[in-house]
Amino acid sequence: MDSIIGSVVLEFLGAYVRWMFLFIYSKLTNKKVKTFKEVWDGKGIKDGASLLSYGTSNIIIGVIFSFIIIYTIGSILSFFL
């Protein structure tokens, strides 16, 4: 049960990071901005395997972003200690 909750949290974090990059890119290039729901659901992906790999990539992005945040906080704290 814990791994399912952790997976959902990491997938949400990864989808949020992906959405933020897409949002900034869309604003800079004057393209249509995707909603978070479109990024979260993988709108336009119909194949089950592709949808699974899309969700997995969101989890991987979430893990990488978490490590970056933890490393940054650790570096800041080690500077003061």
pLDDT of residue 26: 95
* Tally of domains in the chain: 1
Q: What is the pLDDT of residues 11-23, one digit of tens each?
A: 999 999 999 999 9
Q: What is the pTM of this model?
A: 0.85
HEC-encoded secondary structure of the chain: CHHHHHHHHHHHHHHHHHHHHHHHHHHHHCCCCCCHHHHHHCCCCCCHHHHHHHHHHHHHHHHHHHHHHHHHHHHHHHHHC
